[in-house]
Amino acid sequence: AAIEAVVRLLVDSASDVRCVAVRALGRLAEKGDLRVIGAVSRRLKDTDVSVRLASLKTLIELVDVGDKAVVRIIACLVEDLDDGVRRDALQALVKLATLGDAVVVEAVSKCMHHQDVNERIAAADCMVQIAERGDQVALGALTACLEHGDGGLRVKVVSSLAHLAEHGNPAIIRALAWRLEDGDWEVRLAAAKALAQVAESGDV
C-alpha cells in the first residue's frame, strides 16, 4: 500500500514531490519490481533535471543487469540537454548494460563527438567497459578522436584502443604508430605502451 501511494506521487504537479517519491521508491521497492521500474522509467523523461537524475540513481538500485527496455531509455539520455544527466546516464549504462550491447555502444559512440572534452573522455572510459574487444563501432568512434587538439583526450583514446583492439589489427596499429610522433610526450608514451599490447611480432 505504501509503495502504491508513493508511485502515485510520481505524477505530482510539484517537481520536488516527484523527486522525493522517486528516491523513496529506491528504498521501499524490491529489486526487480517491474511496476515500480516502469513507473520510475517514465520519469527519465521528466521536465525537471533533478527528477531525471533521481530516477537514474533509483533504477540502478532496482533494475537487473541486462534489462534491455530500461537500458534503451537510459541510452537516449546520453544526449540529454543537462550535462549531469548525460554523465549519470553513462555511469548507469556501465552498471546495467550487458557487454557488447550494440544499441549502447552506438549511443556512447555519439558522445565521442561532444564538444566538451571531458564528456568525450568520460565516453571513452564508458566505452572500454561496455564494448567487446574488436567492436568496430567503438574502435571507429575512438580512432576519430586521435587528431583532437586536447592531449589528455588523445591519451585516453590511445589507452582505450589498447583495451578494445584485437591483437594484430592493422588499422589500429597504423593509427597508434602515427601517435608515436605526437607533439605531446604523454601521448607518445601511451602510444608506445598501446602498441606493445596490440601489435604482434613484426607488425610495426
pLDDT for 8: 95
**Would you say how long the chain is, in residues?**
204
Residues 6+ apart with CB under 8 A from 170: 203
pLDDT for 70: 94
| Predicted confidence (pLDDT) at residue 99 exceeds the cutoff of 90 | yes
Residues 6+ apart with CB under 8 A from 18: 9, 10, 11, 12, 43, 46, 48, 51
For 15-78, give the DSSP string. Answer: HHHHHHHHHHHHHHSPTT-HHHHHHHHHGGG-SSHHHHHHHHHHHHHHSPTT-HHHHHHHHHGG
Cell output for 191? 602510444
| Predicted confidence (pLDDT) at residue 17 exceeds the cutoff of 60 | yes
pLDDT for 20: 97
Which CATH number among 1.25.10.10, 3.40.718.10, 3.40.50.2300, 3.30.2350.10 corresponds to the domain 1-97?
1.25.10.10
pLDDT for 115: 87
Residues 6+ apart with CB under 8 A from 50: 15, 16, 19
Residue-wise pLDDT tens digits, 41-83: 999 999 999 999 999 999 999 999 999 999 999 999 999 999 9
Find the mean pLDDT for residues 17-27. 96
Q: Where, residue-wise, is CATH 1.25.10.10 in the chain?
A: 1-97, 99-204
pLDDT band of residue 199 (cuts 50, 70, 90) is confident
Nearest C-alpha neighbor of 149 from the set 176, 187, 111: 187
| Superfamily of 99-204 according to CATH | Leucine-rich Repeat Variant (1.25.10.10)
For residues 12 and 17, give the distance between their C-alpha atoms in angstroms, rounded to a whole number.
6
pLDDT band of residue 204 (cuts 50, 70, 90) is low
Distance in Å from the first CA to the final CA of the chain? 66
- Cell numbers 564508458 label which residue? 126
